[in-house]
């Protein structure tokens, strides 16, 4: 099995290291955080004393290097990779994909890179918050852009599967647009709802229904973590906010003019039904894609665009399914 070198041992990186070891892979990590490093060491994991040393070892063992640092720290980590292992197999687990792809293209263009993003909780941070089962059953995007090397995509996808996730193939820009809508916009709307509710004073809050409790839950996430996530995906989030503003403005107009909210409420009801349909295990259709086929990447992107997922490899064939 391919060895894994994890750079950054916070919630996500620390969980990748644990899950890789669980799968039986040789795996080690490094981090600039002294507390994460000592906690990982104390838990019995193989932790190099510096990031340089960890990446040098990746060259010796032909390991997949996994960048698991926050977006602002990616460039510095890439400079280390460029200096020590410029042609390594490389992936990352950062929550936006186009900005990382741009950095890789600029700093380590010779790396065999495919971006990744496991969709796992982020309201806590640090090694101690991680677990080997964090990714079990979760979607994990493996970026399949025009310029992605097949070999690199395959390594990123195999890691995701070994970590217990299923793989969603898509492009970097489609990933960023999608998560703006379903991961970042929910934080913005939760904040707006919480502030508008609190604007009604203690009386309103004392009468808050389950709808308000649910709708504001993620407003309790630490502020810095929400800002890093949302501001790091500024352009796509702006599009998503504009879409939501348009819909809320239309609801406002309908309520003011005819008093009717049917179009708004029906569209929301249909959207929720589509969410449940995409997630349903019922009637899913098996999809097989032969990676030796020259159109394999187009087929993978179509699979992701249709709400599908990759479940396993059978030699050169990808086996997945689409919602029914």
Which residue stretch of 62-70, 73-81, 102-110, 201-209 sits at the interface with its own copies (rule: CB under 8 A)?
201-209
Minimal distance, residue 88 CB to its own copies, in Å: 27
Q: Is 216 in the site for its own copies (CB under 8 A)?
A: yes
* Alpha carbon distance 116, 110 (integer Å): 18
Contacting residue, 14, 115, 130, 308, with its own copies by CB under 8 A: 308
Minimal distance, residue 295 CB to its own copies, in Å: 19
CA atoms within 13 A on the CB side of 200: 12
**Binding footprint of its own copies, residue count (CB under 8 A):** 98
Site string for its own copies, 155-184 (x = CB under 8 A): -------------x-x---xx-xxx-xxx-
Q: Is 281 in the site for its own copies (CB under 8 A)?
A: no
Three-point CA angle 134, 138, 139, nearest 5°: 135
Q: Which is nearer to its own copies, 105 or 204 (CB)?
A: 204
72: left (phi over 0), alpha (psi -120 to 50) or beta: alpha
* Alpha carbon distance 73, 92 (integer Å): 12
Q: Is 109 in the site for its own copies (CB under 8 A)?
A: no
Q: Is 264 in the site for its own copies (CB under 8 A)?
A: yes
Q: Is 24 in the site for its own copies (CB under 8 A)?
A: no
* Alpha carbon distance 220, 298 (integer Å): 40
Q: Is 256 in the site for its own copies (CB under 8 A)?
A: yes
Contact between 142 and 114 under an 8 Å Cβ cutoff? The reply is yes
Which of these, 65, 67, 87, lies nearest to 77 by C-alpha position?
A: 67
């Amino acid at each position: 099995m391919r060895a894994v070198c994890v750079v950054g041992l916070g919630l996500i990186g620390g969980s990748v290291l644990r899950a890789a070891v669980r799968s039986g892979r040789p795996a080690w990590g490094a981090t600039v955080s002294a507390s994460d490093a000592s906690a990982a060491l104390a838990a019995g994991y193989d932790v190099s004393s510096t990031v340089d040393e960890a990446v040098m070892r990746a060259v010796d063992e032909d390991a997949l290097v996994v960048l698991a640092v926050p977006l602002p720290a990616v460039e510095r980590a890439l400079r280390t990779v460029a200096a020590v292992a410029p042609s390594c197999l490389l992936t990352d687990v950062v929550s936006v994909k186009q900005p990382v792809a741009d950095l890789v293209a600029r700093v380590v263009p010779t790396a065999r890179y495919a971006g990744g993003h496991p969709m796992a909780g982020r309201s806590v941070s640090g090694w101690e918050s991680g677990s080997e089962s964090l990714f079990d059953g979760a979607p994990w995007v493996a970026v399949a852009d025009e310029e992605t090397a097949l070999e690199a995509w395959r390594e990123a996808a195999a890691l995701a599967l070994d970590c217990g996730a299923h793989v969603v193939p898509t492009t970097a820009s489609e990933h960023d647009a999608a998560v703006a809508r379903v991961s970042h916009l929910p934080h913005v709307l939760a904040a707006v709802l919480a502030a508008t509710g609190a604007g009604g004073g203690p009386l309103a809050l004392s009468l808050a229904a389950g709808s308000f409790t649910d709708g504001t839950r993620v407003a309790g996430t630490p502020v810095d973590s929400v800002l890093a996530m949302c501001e790091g995906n500024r352009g796509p989030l702006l599009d998503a906010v504009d879409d939501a503003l348009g819909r809320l403005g239309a609801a406002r107009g309908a309520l003011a003019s005819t008093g009717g909210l049917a179009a708004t409420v029906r569209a929301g009801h249909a959207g929720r039904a589509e969410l449940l349909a995409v997630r349903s295990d019922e009637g899913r259709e098996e999809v097989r894609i032969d990676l030796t086929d020259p159109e394999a990447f187009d087929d993978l992107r179509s699979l992701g665009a249709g709400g599908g997922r990759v479940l396993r490899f059978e030699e050169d064939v990808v086996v997945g399914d689409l919602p029914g």
